[in-house]
Every structure is written in structure tokens, then in C-alpha cells.
Structure 1
Amino acid sequence: MQQNTEIVVVGGGYAGVMAANRLTQRDDVTVTVVNPRRVFVPRLRLHQLVGGTHDAVVAYDDVLAEGVRLVVDSVTRIDAAERSVTLAEGGTIGYDYLVYAVGSGSAGPQVPGAAEFAYPIATLDAAQRLRSVLADRPLAAGVTVVGGGPTGIETAAELAEQGRAVTLVCGAALGPYLHPRARRTARKYLARLGVRVIEGPKASVTAVTQESVELGDGRTLPSEVTIWTAGFGVPDLAARSGLRTDAAGRLITDETLTSVNDERIVAAGDSSAPSELPFRMSAYAAGCLGAHAADTVLHRIAGERPTPIDLSFSAMCISFGRHAGIFQLAHKNDVAAPLYFPGRAGKKLKELSCAFSVKHLVKEAEKPGSHSWPKDGKHRPQLLRTRRDDTTPSVA
């Protein structure tokens, strides 16, 4: 009689859903996804939720493969020795293999007053709360968005397109990932929408009050609603469970995405740190890493040797409201190239990217094992060799 393999996926975002769906290639596995919400949240849409142009939720019935069990709860601890997870609502679930895909959010702001008076946007609950707050404020109320990355830019543009008075405080530079040519276009789009952009060496927020933000150059800006999009943080579940993490709290794995502590645990998405060199957070990377994590588990079940992750990047994209966007092409090593698509073409490509981030999950649910992605095979091995050479002590 064939023994069934129990697999628990912790987290139901892009990486977790992709991994869960791909694992159903085998008939002798049982897959359980543990997630605190009963709906899938396409995080690429959260700025639209705040702006009222999208609800940013998808039913799990639409994206999870038939037969995958969904447990609506949170995991409070992973017991690697016992191969079980403890649930917040009580009880435990045992596993033979575990996929760690808890995702990411905003880092807890260290700036005085930010935790009390600034509104985050990285989760569904936070975005819904912010939308409610804005609904109670007149359009003339001053809004300050802190953070010059994609989330900050998209949130500022979405709200400015509504007619709100928006200031975007970027820190050193607007859209650090963008090629300088695309960055100039981004400034033009934001100016067209009426967004006041503050960037430069001292354009960082040093304090937040109920009615203002203070900058590193000494300026105080009035702000009736302050939105915090800066920083990066992950849940501390791995650290609390005694698993090795990097400084940001990501689970450290080898290049197969296997935890350095336990070969029965693999990680994917924003909460993973392969060789302590994590990939840039994105829905694209999360889906690919989720698929590879599933492949690693399937290899181990079959008694085969897992393969190293091989992933190349081709683009990143930013929307500027509902009518313009920038689709920034990239080299395989995730460095911005001079070529980009602006305007309506950029917006259309951005919208397609958002739509396909969910469609890839649906396709994997219908045909497990079908998801593929562009490979590199050159830059990451080179990066790993360089780091190894830099850290290897010289022999006198």
C-alpha cells in the first residue's frame, strides 16, 4: 500500500498558492494551506483598493487546485523535530514536508510617531483601513506618501488622480530601480497628476505627528493623512521556531530552497533567503520560487536530488493611475536596462502583468507542473562564486 505524504504550506500568497497547486502532480500527497484569510489577496492591487478602483481579493476556489485543503488560521510555531505546526486557534497539524511562504509586509517604522500616526498599506486589512480613513477626509486634505518605491509611487498616483493633494517623500531617489531615463518619465507623470515629489540626500522622514511629517533637512510638511510604504519586513515565525534567518528575518536556505536547518522544510517568496542572497520581492519572483520549492519537495519524495534555483528577470512595472505606466525592461541579473515602455503601452503591460500573476496560479491549479519561467544560469552562480571568494580567508 502506497504511503500518503502530508505537506503543509504556511502562507496563501503568490508563492504559497503556486507551491500548493504544483504539489498536486502526485496522487499520493495531501496538501494543506494554512492562511489567516479566507480570500487570496493579489498584493499588486492594494494601492487600487486604497484608491477605490479594485477590491484586491480573489476567492481561493478560483486559484487553489481541487483537493488542496485550506485552513483559515495562523501558524504560531513550527516544531521541526516533531514535524508539526501549532495553530493560533488551537491544535496542531503534522507534516512530512513544509513549505514556508509567509510573505512580507512593511517593516515596523523606527521613525518617531510613524507607528502611531502613519498608515501602512502592505496588507489587506491595512489597505481597507486606509481606504476608510480617506473616505472620511475631504479631497482637499493633504496626503503624504512616504517611500519612493513602486508601492509609494503607485499609491501617490492613484490618489492624485482622484484629485487629492499628494506629496511623495522619496528619500534619496524616486524609483531607485528605474533606469535614469525612465525615472525622468516617472517624474513627468507624477507632475502631470499634481504630485509634489521630494527627493534627495536629506529627503527622508525623521518624525511623524498627527498633522505633519518632519524631514531630515529640517522642513516640516503639513499632512492630514500620512501613508507609510517604506521598508521591508517579514513575519518572525521562522526565528520564533528556532530556524536560522537572515537579519531581516527571512528563512535561510540553500540554493534548492531547502532550510539549512532541516531538509523537510523549504521556503519560497519574500520570506526566503537562498544562500543569504534573496531575490527582489515581486509577485513574479514569488510565483517562480513557489514552483521551485514544490519541485524540491517532489524531488525529495521521489528520492531524487533537488536542483538549484535558476531564475532570470526581464522587467518590472509601475502604474501612474489608470492611464499611464512604465514597463521597465531589465537585464537577466535584475538590473534596469535603458529600454522601457511608457504611457498607455506601459500601463497596458502593467495591467497584463497584474492579471497574469493570478492567471499563472489558475493555470497551475488546472494543469499542475505547467508553470515555467526564464532561466539565467550565469549571473547568480557568478554572484555566489564572487561572494564565496570574498569570504574565503586567505592562506599566508
Structure 2
Amino acid sequence: MTENIDAVVIGGGYAGVMAANRLTQRNDVTVTLINPRPAFVERLRLHQLVGGSHDAVVDYKDVLAKSVRLVVDTVTRIDAAGRRASLATGGTVGYDYLIYAVGSGSADPRVPGAAEFAYPIATLEEAQRLRPVIDAAPATAAVTVVGGGPTGIETAAELAEANRTVTLVCGGMLGPYLHPRVRRSVAKQLARLGVTVLDGPKAKVTAVTCDAVQLGDGRELPSEVTIWTAGFGVPDLAARSGLSTDAVGRLLTDETLTSVDDARIVAAGDSAAPSDLPLRMSCQTARPLGAHAADTVLSRIAGERSAAINVGYFGQCIALGRRAATAQLASRDDTVNKFSIGGRLGAMIKEGSCRGMVKELAHEGRKPGSFTWWFKDDKRRQLLQTKRGEALAIR
């Protein structure tokens, strides 16, 4: 008789759900997914939740394999030696293999007043907290969005399209990921929507009060609602559990996504730092890493050699309201180029991408092992060789 194997996945986002579903390929593996929320969060739509055009949640029964056991709770500590995860409500869950997919959230802004007076939106609860604040604010209220990355741009555009008076404070460059040509196109669309964009080194926020935002050049912007989208952080669960992490707190792994401390722990998504060269935080990365983490566990169970990750990219799609978007194209090593798809076609691509990712998870739940990521990046191997050479030189 085959002995049953317990696999636990911590985190029910894009990476965690993909991993949990893929693990169900083996009948002798019992899969448990531990997540603090009872529903799957479409993180790509949190700006829409703030703007009132989407609730950004999907029932787990629509994306999770039926055989996966869902535990709605928070893991407070991982006991690697005892192979147990402690829960906030009490008790523990034992495992033979654990996939660490806790994702990311808002970073500590470290700006005076930001924690007290600004609203982050990196998580469902944060976006839900902000939504009634926006609804209650007068139509003429000054809204300031801090952060010129995708979340900041999408939030500013969403609210401006709803006739809000919005200022986007970039704290540096608008859309740092974007090619200069594409950046100019995004800036023009934001201007059409009525968004005031403040970028450059002088547009760095130095303090936030209940009704204003102060900038590095001494300017003070009236702001009845301040939204903070600058930066992401990861939960400190790995560090609290005595596992090795990078400077940000992501779990350090090898190229198979296996923890450098324990062969029974595998990481995926935003909380993974393979070879201390983490990939771009995004759901574009999360899904293939979730699938690869599951494949690593399944290979280990089967006594086979685990493969190294090979995740390539195609670019980034940024919504510019409900009727427009910009799809920035890139090479597979994530180097952007001057090409993009914009306007209504871009909006169709963006919406199709959001829907498609949920469908991918659901399909993997019905047919585990079906997900395939066609984009590969052969340059990562060169980066690893360079890093190892530098490490040897230091020694």
C-alpha cells in the first residue's frame, strides 16, 4: 500500500492556487491550502475595487481543485524540524512537503505621517477600507496617488475616469519599467483623463498629513484622500521561522525553488528569492513559479531530479481607465522595447489577461499538469554564472 503524503501550501494567491492544483496529479498526495481569506483575490483588479467597477474576488470553488482542502487561517510559524505549521487560531498542520507562497503586500512607507494618513491598497482589506472613503469624499475632493508604478498609474486613471480630481506623485520617474516612448504615451493618456502627474526628483513625498502631501522641494499639495502605492514588502513568516531570507525577507532558494535550509520546503511567487536573484514581482511570474514549485515537490516524491526554473516574460499591461490600456512589450529577459499596444485594443488585452489568469487556475484545477509557460529566458544562466564568478573573486 502506498503511503499518503501531506503537502501544505501557504498562501492562496496566483502562485499558491496554481501550486495546490498542480499537486493533485498524484492520488497519494493530500493537498491543504492555508489562506487567511475565504475567497481568491484578483490582485490585478484592486484598483477597480477602489474605483467601484469590480469587487476583485472569486470564490475558491471556481479556481481550486475539489480535492484540495482549504483552511482559512494564518500561519504564524513554520517548524521546519518538526514539519509543522502553527496557526493563528491555535493548533498546527503537519506536512511532508511545504510550498511557501505567502505573496507580498504594502511596504512600510517610512515617511512621516504616511502610515497614519495615507491609504495603501496592496491587499484586499486595504482596498476595501479605502473604497468607502472614496465614496464619501466630495466629487471635488483632491485625491493624491503616491507611486508612479503600475498600481499607482492604474489607480490614478481609474479614479480620474470616475471624474475625481487626481494628482499622481511619482517620487521619481513615471512608469520606471516602461520604454521612454511608451512612457510618453501613458503620460498623454493620463493627461487626457485629467490626471496631474508630478515626476522627477523634486516630486518625492517627505510627509503626509490629514489634508496635505508635502514634497521634497517644499511644495504642499492639498489632499483630502492620499493613496499610497509606492513599494511592496513580503511577510516576515520565513524570517520568524528561522529560515534564510534575502534583505527584503523573501525565502532564499536554489534554482529548483527549494529552500537553502530544508529540502522539504519550496517557495513560489513574490516571496521567493531563487539564488538571491529574485524575479520581477508580478502574477506573470507567480503562475509559472507556482507550477514549478509543485513540479519540484512531485519530482522529489518520485525520486527524480528537480529541474531549474526558466521563466521568461512578454512585457507588462497597464490599465488606463476602463476604455484604454498600454501593453508594453519586452524581450524574454524582461528588457522592454519601444513597441506597445494601446487604446481600446490594449484595454481588451488587459481585461482578457485578467480573466485569462483566473481561467488558467480553474483549468489547472480540473486538469492538473496542463499549465505550460512558453516564455523562456536563457540569459538567467549567464547572470548566475556572473554572480558566482563575482562571489569567487571576493573570496
Q: TM-score, normalised by structure 2?
A: 0.99
Change (3 A) 1:16 1:394: closer
Identity of aligned residues (%): 68
- After TM superposition, give the deviation of residue 374 of structure 1 in Å: 2.1
| CA–CA separation in structure 2 for the residues paired with 1:377 and 1:212 | 45
| CA–CA separation in structure 1 for the residues paired with 2:136 and 2:333 | 44
Find the counterpart in structure 1 of residue 320 from structure 2.
Answer: 320
| CA–CA separation in structure 1 for the residues paired with 2:53 and 2:354 | 14
Letter aligned with residue 138 of structure 2 = P
User: Could you list the runs of 5+ residues in structure 2 that have no partner in the other structure?
Assistant: none
For residue 47 of structure 2, give the secondary structure of its aligned residue in structure 1: helix
| CA–CA separation in structure 1 for the residues paired with 2:220 and 2:318 | 29
| CA–CA separation in structure 2 for the residues paired with 1:84 and 1:354 | 35
Find the counterpart in structure 1 of residue 188 from structure 2.
Answer: 188
Find the counterpart in structure 2 of residue 77 from structure 1.
Answer: 77
For residue 170 of structure 2, give the secondary structure of its aligned residue in structure 1: strand
Letter aligned with residue 117 of structure 2 = F
Find the counterpart in structure 2 of residue 367 from structure 1.
Answer: 367
| CA–CA separation in structure 2 for the residues paired with 1:122 and 1:34 | 20
Letter aligned with residue 360 of structure 1 = E
Letter aligned with residue 147 of structure 1 = G
Find the counterpart in structure 1 of residue 382 from structure 2.
Answer: 382
Q: Deviations over 1:328-385 (max 9, x none)?
A: 1111111111111011111111111111111110110011000011242521001111
Find the counterpart in structure 2 of residue 97 from structure 1.
Answer: 97
| CA–CA separation in structure 2 for the residues paired with 1:361 and 1:284 | 13
Find the counterpart in structure 1 of residue 134 from structure 2.
Answer: 134
The 8 Å contact of residues 313 and 374 in structure 1, kept in 2 or not, is answered as: no
Moved >3 Å (runs of 4+): none
Query: Would you say 1:349 and 2:313 are equivalent positions?
Result: no
| CA–CA separation in structure 2 for the residues paired with 1:275 and 1:53 | 40
| CA–CA separation in structure 2 for the residues paired with 1:364 and 1:167 | 41
Find the counterpart in structure 1 of residue 115 from structure 2.
Answer: 115
| CA–CA separation in structure 2 for the residues paired with 1:237 and 1:32 | 18
Alignment of 1:1-396 (within 5 A): 1-393=1-393
The 8 Å contact of residues 17 and 63 in structure 2, kept in 1 or not, is answered as: yes
- After TM superposition, give the deviation of residue 391 of structure 1 in Å: 2.2
For residue 393 of structure 1, give the secondary structure of its aligned residue in structure 2: helix
The 8 Å contact of residues 170 and 204 in structure 2, kept in 1 or not, is answered as: yes
Q: RMSD over aligned Cα, in angstroms?
A: 0.9
Letter aligned with residue 200 of structure 1 = G
Letter aligned with residue 66 of structure 1 = K
The 8 Å contact of residues 332 and 377 in structure 2, kept in 1 or not, is answered as: no
The 8 Å contact of residues 314 and 375 in structure 2, kept in 1 or not, is answered as: no
The 8 Å contact of residues 333 and 377 in structure 2, kept in 1 or not, is answered as: no
Letter aligned with residue 286 of structure 1 = A
For residue 291 of structure 2, give the secondary structure of its aligned residue in structure 1: helix
| CA–CA separation in structure 2 for the residues paired with 1:274 and 1:80 | 19
Letter aligned with residue 43 of structure 1 = R
The 8 Å contact of residues 100 and 266 in structure 2, kept in 1 or not, is answered as: yes
For residue 390 of structure 1, give the secondary structure of its aligned residue in structure 2: helix
The 8 Å contact of residues 207 and 215 in structure 1, kept in 2 or not, is answered as: yes
Q: Deviations over 1:315-339 (max 9, x none)?
A: 2100110011001111111111111
Change (3 A) 1:223 1:390: same
Q: Deviations over 1:239-276 (max 9, x none)?
A: 00000001111000000000000000000000000011
Q: How many pairs were matched up?
A: 395
| CA–CA separation in structure 2 for the residues paired with 1:134 and 1:53 | 13
For residue 70 of structure 1, give the secondary structure of its aligned residue in structure 2: strand
User: Could you list the runs of 5+ residues in structure 1 that have no partner in the other structure?
Assistant: none
- After TM superposition, give the deviation of residue 135 of structure 1 in Å: 1.0
Change (3 A) 1:220 1:377: closer
For residue 249 of structure 1, give the secondary structure of its aligned residue in structure 2: coil
Letter aligned with residue 295 of structure 1 = D
Q: TM-score, normalised by structure 1?
A: 0.99
